Structure 1
Amino acid sequence: MSKRLLAALAVVPLVAAMTACAGGAGGDDEVVKIGVVGAGDPYWADYKQEAKDAGINVDIIDFSDYTQPNPALAEGEIDLNQFQHIVYLADYNVSAGKDLVPIGATAIYPLAVYSKKYTSVDDIKKGETVAVPNDPSNLARSLLVLQSAGLIELKGGGSIFSTLADIDEGASKVKVKAMEASLTPTSLPDVAAAVINNDFVEKAGLKFEDAIAKDDPSDPNAIPYVNIFAARAEDKDNPTYKKLVEIYQNSKKVQQGVLDISGGTAVLVKTPVSDLQASLEKVEKETAAQKK
């Protein structure tokens, strides 16, 4: 998942979203609530100020893990969220029977492998264990990263739907253990390596440059892993929300802040919404077929 997929405060009490913000640029009493994972990142303060300068009051709502912002958005407790890539959203929509939609792109974040014991994947010994996030989208992506690093083999070459059952254990160098994404960093003392979402890297006292392997966000097939602003389907054309996306994409302070917090690993993008939606629809169909 994405960076900022992907982290830890207790969830603050939420109230119903204010319907008044659906109409325009927002007055003094109108607040657009945006759910994120990692509200303490400095660039969110810059974002709120630039939104305010544009006449939009924004409240950044922090969630402790990735499973929470989508239900909150679907139930109207927040107005937007910004924490996930398209694959994660597609899995949620299909599993929960919802129709959340992307309204703007933010960045692609490489997914990387870290280790406390080794400085190269080549040094990892046969039979050792590597930890990965257990949510379906990041699990599959993690397995593809491990395959690219030569640590495992996936039956049929793998896909965005690969699971632990798709690992060819006889042809693989390591064992794989899946766990909640926020726990992969804390597992490092007990495993050979772990795939860690960008959200949790610095919180775990790690440096992005310490990664011993990662995927390639410049791959043309990477669009399903573009991180997005998501809204309810009925709000996809909301002019205030579109303006908030533009502020995020065009603010030099915000964009530099995203780069800084990612250790320079984020690839900032402005993928057209039509392309994001087309990718979502495709991945949703594939996801639904996988779940049958």
Structure 2
Amino acid sequence: MSENVPVLPAKNGGGRRTGLVVGAVVAVVVLVAALVFALTRPGTDDAAAAEEGATVVRLGTTDVAQPHWEILTELAAEEGIDLEIVGFSEYTQPNPALTEDEIDLNAFQHILYLADHNNNTGDDLQPIGSTLIVPLPLYSEKHEDVSEFTKGEQVAIPNDATNQARALFVLEEAGLITFTGEPKVPTPDDVDTEKSTVVVRPVEASQTAGLISDPDIAGVIVNNNFATDAGFDLDGYVFADDPSSQGAQPYINVIAARPDDVDNPAYQKIVELYHDPKVLESVVESSGGTAVIVEGYDAAKLKDVLAETQENLKAAG
């Protein structure tokens, strides 16, 4: 999940829609040269693959149902790469799985989320390619404009540190909350309740969409993949930040690897194929047109953004 502590400009819109939340996960298996495989991935299944001249690479994600993965699989097959889909159900799972060699890549997070993970765990997972950036919208079944929210109404937001900070910035930009100071990475404790219109209710990110029909909840801030799985009208938000802002670098979603694998040619091939027009068209379509594809960020530039973001988080912590 990427990147986050600048305040982004806002985008307005009206409407809302309910749905069920489905958590999901992906793993990708990539086949390449037997020599690379033998050096990187020992094991019974992998040994059999090596005998066939293949290397196994697993990529985890939280949006396994999205059609662009199938397209990527087909393109990879043309390059001698075989993709296999596995599963995680929560944001907290793919990074530990990557660290523990259960997978070889993941593609589910923005840079800020990765920075927070590295700071909290001592890991040094690195981005090797950019994917997309999407707005973080506020949806409501009760209101069509932020001006309709009244004092004391509750808004559900993701409770993980990085998405929570971004969600709070969205509510500040919408004029629904005020901070007591100028936090770089705000938490609910930074909200001035007396000066704010709404009360924030932090919940697990996958639960926010399901709360849109809760009579006690006036609005929900929902990550794009959960909104998609829940059947939301992705253009029917009340308010959202602007993913094309210059300050949005920490929100760039990335493909991440272990630090020693940043230059692995098989992994770099996956990054290249992700940016094939067929894949990108599907990504944008699946996002309801909300995704902004991020080009021009190689591993070195992404590494710099990650390092700066990690320092910002430490300073704020």
- Pair 1:10–1:99, CA change in 2 (3 A): closer
1:170 and 2:189 matched: no
> Alignment identity in percent?
43
Distance in 2, matches of 1:11 and 1:105, equals 17
Q: 1:186 — aligned with what?
A: 210
Distance in 2, matches of 1:57 and 1:278, equals 31
Please point out which of 158, 170, 174 is paired with 1:149.
Answer: 174
Q: Which runs of 4+ in 1 moved over 3 A?
A: 9-12, 26-29
SS at match of 1:169: coil
Q: 1:59 — aligned with what?
A: 84
Question: Once the two structures are superposed, what CA deviation does each residue of 1:170-224 show, in whole Å capped at 9, x if it has no partner?
Answer: 1101100000000001111220001000011122221101111000112111111
Distance in 2, matches of 1:233 and 1:139, equals 27
Deviation at 1:56, TM superposition (A): 1.4
| TM-score between the two structures when normalised by the length of structure 1 | 0.90
Please point out which of 201, 223, 227 is paired with 1:201.
Answer: 227
1:279 and 2:305 matched: yes
Question: Once the two structures are superposed, what CA deviation does each residue of 1:110-145 show, in whole Å capped at 9, x if it has no partner?
Answer: 100001111111111111000000010000000000
| TM-score between the two structures when normalised by the length of structure 2 | 0.83
| Contact 2:155 2:218 survives alignment (8 Å) | yes
Deviation at 1:272, TM superposition (A): 2.8
Unaligned runs of 5+ in 1: 13-17
- Pair 1:9–1:244, CA change in 2 (3 A): closer
Report how many aligned residue pairs link the two structures: 279
Question: Once the two structures are superposed, what CA deviation does each residue of 1:259-281 show, in whole Å capped at 9, x if it has no partner?
Answer: 01110000001223222111111
1:232 and 2:258 matched: yes
- Pair 1:10–1:268, CA change in 2 (3 A): closer
Distance in 2, matches of 1:34 and 1:173, equals 42
CA RMSD, 1 decimal: 2.1
Distance in 2, matches of 1:283 and 1:263, equals 29
| Contact 1:102 1:231 survives alignment (8 Å) | yes
| Contact 1:11 1:64 survives alignment (8 Å) | no
AA partner of residue 262 (structure 1) = S
SS at match of 1:99: coil
Distance in 1, matches of 2:60 and 2:138, equals 27
Deviation at 1:28, TM superposition (A): 5.5
Distance in 1, matches of 2:192 and 2:39, equals 50
1:247 and 2:258 matched: no
| Contact 1:38 1:62 survives alignment (8 Å) | no
Distance in 1, matches of 2:260 and 2:54, equals 22
Unaligned runs of 5+ in 2: 3-21, 28-33, 41-49
| Contact 2:25 2:63 survives alignment (8 Å) | no
Q: 1:221 — aligned with what?
A: 247
SS at match of 2:128: strand
AA partner of residue 104 (structure 1) = G
AA partner of residue 37 (structure 2) = A
AA partner of residue 208 (structure 2) = T
SS at match of 1:37: coil
Deviation at 1:66, TM superposition (A): 0.4
Distance in 2, matches of 1:10 and 1:45, equals 14
Deviation at 1:11, TM superposition (A): 9.0
AA partner of residue 199 (structure 1) = N
Please point out which of 106, 127, 137 is paired with 1:102.
Answer: 127
The 5-angstrom pairing of residues 35-184 of structure 1 reads 35-159=60-184, 161-184=185-208
Distance in 2, matches of 1:256 and 1:280, equals 27
